[in-house]
A = this chain, B = another copy of it.
Amino acid sequence: MECVIETLASNVKFGRGATREVGQDCKNLKAKKVCVMTDKKLSKMSPVQITVESIRKQNINYKVYDRVRVEPTDESFKEAIDFAKKEGFDCFVAVGGGSVIDTCKAANLYSSNPDAKLLDYVNVPIGKGLPVTHTLRPLIAVTTTSGTGSESSGTAVFDYLPMKAKTGIANRALCPTLGIVDPDHLITLPERVAAYSGIDVLCNAIESYTAIPFQKRGPRPEDPILRPTYQGSNPISDISCLYALKIAAKYLKRAVYNADDFEAREKMHLASLFAGIGFGNAGCHLCHGMSYPISGLVRDYREEGYDEAEPLIPHGLSVIVSAPAVFQFTAPSCPERHLEAAEAIGADVSRARKEDAGKVLRDTLLKILRDIEIPDGLNALGYTTEDVPALVKGAMPQHRLIKLSPRPVNEDDMAGLFEKSMKIY
């Protein structure tokens, strides 16, 4: 039986203006040549400008890489890795949302061990899931969204184009040396980005809180380096998740519709950070596993605020559409935890019965989703029931995630979950 958890923790700096200190942080890390990684859109905006200015002030050599793809792929990862290999950086600074930070983690991981192949560290079964035994360069992650929690997790997610499937690398070694959560960057977050990154926070936290307990994930690995980063729910991630849920439920709507409601946007940043600490140690399960083919098989869906040339289903949206069906499915396996999660996001559970846990959590969640105008299920994203077999095929191999479901799931269950998610209201 597994009876040990290993919590991952990056140091995190939180507060307005923390980005202005990045140059000094680099200096204190003894950096001589820094890679500043970002995306095209952000490269012209203040978070990157402030970062670069602070590095310049310390007379530290740096180069900006702004070709990160939103929702990265193996190809966009490789391009960033090649750039890092060629330049030989001794420090990385990622400025952006999950896509930027994840790409930077990959660039750091592979450029510091140039002989490794991309699939070596990618999660099983798509990759080999090898342990990381080499030392990475310091990585400072300046987050500009409040959803992924990537600044405090060891996870890097990408689309693996040869299989049209999302997968990722989940390893403690990838955890940033320092995460910077500077609420100043949230003031410019477009409404829909605030909405979709906010619901990602909710899902990260509910899934982690309802994931199988770490003791049941066993057996204990022979070497602690083989212990998965996603370990199942545990007392340390539990308190982070419940706190994230309480905060997110309270401030999400305000944060979405009032870009200048600084308090609400700051609180969502905190919620995102705590959910990141939660899922970074416990792991998500079905909603995230199912989201991978949902975003991977996108046809022509586009969202305002995400000005990519190609169709794109934002990560948080791809995750949340299955949540109502998923939590009804998983509730019978641990109804208490589903009720506790429901209570954290605002339900009155004083008279709720265990057998109602799934319904209570679903209804409470749906109220929040309606409040911030989340599209009505997979249909609204361009899918029909005819797509279910392909979606199931893309979700089942996400072992790292779906094996953390508190209720085991087979192909029929999965098909049922996708079908029930066609319309959610």
Interface residues, chain A, CB within 8 Å of chain B?
Answer: 3-18, 21, 24-25, 28, 133, 172, 220, 223-225, 234-236, 239-240, 243, 270, 274
Q: Which residue of B lies closest to A172 (CB)?
A: B11
Other-chain contact of A7, B12, B16, B220 (Cβ < 8 Å): B12
Report how far A385 CA is from B87 CA in the complex, Å: 69
Report how far A18 CA is from B231 CA in the complex, Å: 15
A12-B224 contact in complex given A4-B17, A21-B4, C-beta closer than 8 Å: no
Q: Quick check: B18 and A7 within 8 Å, CB to CB?
A: no
Report how far A15 CA is from B217 CA in the complex, Å: 14
* Residues from chain B with Cβ under 8 Å of A17 in the complex: 3-4, 220
* Residues from chain B with Cβ under 8 Å of A234 in the complex: 14
- What are the nearest 10 A-B pairs in CB distance? A9-B9, A4-B15, A3-B15, A21-B224, A6-B13, A4-B18, A3-B16, A28-B225, A239-B243, A7-B12
Q: Quick check: A224 and B25 within 8 Å, CB to CB?
A: yes
Q: Quick check: A236 and B12 within 8 Å, CB to CB?
A: yes
* Residues from chain B with Cβ under 8 Å of A11 in the complex: 6-9, 172
Q: What is the count of identical protomers in the complex?
A: 2
* Residues from chain B with Cβ under 8 Å of A14 in the complex: 4-7, 234-236
* Residues from chain B with Cβ under 8 Å of A15 in the complex: 3-5
* Residues from chain B with Cβ under 8 Å of A223 in the complex: 24, 28
25 A-B contacts (beta carbon < 8 Å)? A3-B16, A4-B13, A4-B14, A4-B17, A4-B18, A4-B21, A5-B15, A6-B12, A6-B13, A7-B14, A8-B11, A9-B11, A12-B236, A13-B224, A14-B234, A14-B235, A24-B225, A25-B224, A28-B133, A28-B224, A235-B270, A236-B270, A239-B239, A239-B240, A239-B274
Interface centre among A17, A133, A224, A225 (most CB of B within 10 A): A224
- Nearest CB of B to A143, in Å: 14
Q: Which residue of B lies closest to A19 (CB)?
A: B4
Q: Quick check: A10 and B9 within 8 Å, CB to CB?
A: yes
Q: Which residue of B lies closest to A244 (CB)?
A: B239
Report how far A5 CA is from B269 CA in the complex, Å: 14
Report how far A330 CA is from B4 CA in the complex, Å: 40
